[in-house]
Copies of this chain bind each other. A is one copy, B any other.
């Protein structure tokens, strides 16, 4: 039984780690931290975690075999450094180890990187696209929720070269993505029955998407991405609708083109337990509580454009679930262990 420690259990991603690991047959959460709630029983902070007999601490105490961090950026890398130096496997849900270039990190996060010398040890944990790197990494940078949905939607098309590297990602997120910190934007009466775009000046998940999609652009160039996230009046789920110009002649006309496209996507994700290429536009509800990413590619022939829609649960495949998937890989366990349940529907 693996002993797991969670840094920053008091946010939604941290709590979701504790929820998911409860179902894991080979891992057990033995220590959790969270500054604001230090000293309180975990069951007081989150009544749904009353199955745990743990007290929230300032620092992890006791031995652990693996460490997850759901701390805010900068604080996360700082807190993880000792565990990394001690040789423990570490999965970081913050942004700290996602961008390979520390200057890019500073540009977007406004602070110097706390441990640039460790960036090389980190694998970017979008599991399906980096499985071997994750398997052998000591540090995994768990992807942001938006990049997870967008990169899984666009990678097959960019990889196949059927589109120009010039895409729009229009993402619709449930409000849990904004976390548990209070704000007028997330106040029930303000957020309910309303939709709005945000981050139009540049969202921090953009460089992450660009970096990861660059791998699929033949010339090594960066794709030209516009990313606009939206807040939707629901708790969980991200739907990403992605648009890119089709290269002329890349696919047949009409339904034959759509079939070829679907086949291309199914080939790309063949054998993947958590990515399903689906025959109808997916609803985020079909992913609720699961580690699934549902992907629906199609063509707007009139406008010669690829449209790909992906759906995830932002707290599972977009955060804690993918983190456990990565842990499984890092520790040599079956990749789906503890993650194989149907969605809560309706």
Complex Cα gap A37–B164 (Å): 43
Given A51-B342, A342-B22, is A186 in contact with B189 using a C-beta cutoff of 8 Å? yes
Q: Given the complex, which residues of B lie within 8 Å of A98, measured CB to CB? A: none
Q: Given the complex, which residues of B lie within 8 Å of A317, measured CB to CB? A: none
Partner of A189, one of B12, B302, B340, B342: B12
Complex Cα gap A289–B284 (Å): 17
Decide: B283 and A195 in contact? CB cutoff 8 A: yes
Q: Given the complex, which residues of B lie within 8 Å of A187, measured CB to CB? A: 180, 182, 186-188
* Nearest opposing residue in chain B for A346, CB measure: B189
Partner of A48, one of B23, B193, B305, B342: B342
Contact stretch, chosen from A73-81, A108-116, A170-178: A170-178
Interface centre among A19, A48, A170, A190 (most CB of B within 10 A): A48
Complex Cα gap A283–B230 (Å): 10
Is A286 an interface position by the 8 A CB rule?
Answer: yes
Decide: A19 and B288 in contact? CB cutoff 8 A: no
Interface centre among A189, A206, A345 (most CB of B within 10 A): A189
- Interface positions of A (Cβ within 8 A of B): 12, 15, 18-19, 22-23, 46-51, 166, 168, 170, 172, 174-176, 178, 180, 182-184, 186-198, 200-202, 206, 224-226, 228, 230, 232-237, 239, 241, 243, 276, 278, 280-286, 288-290, 296, 298, 300, 302-305, 307, 309, 311, 340-346
Sample of 28 A–B contacts (CB below 8 Å):
A22-B341, A47-B286, A50-B276, A51-B340, A51-B342, A168-B243, A170-B170, A170-B243, A176-B346, A178-B189, A180-B187, A186-B189, A187-B188, A188-B188, A188-B235, A192-B233, A192-B346, A194-B234, A194-B286, A195-B237, A197-B296, A200-B300, A200-B307, A200-B309, A201-B298, A224-B302, A225-B303, A233-B233
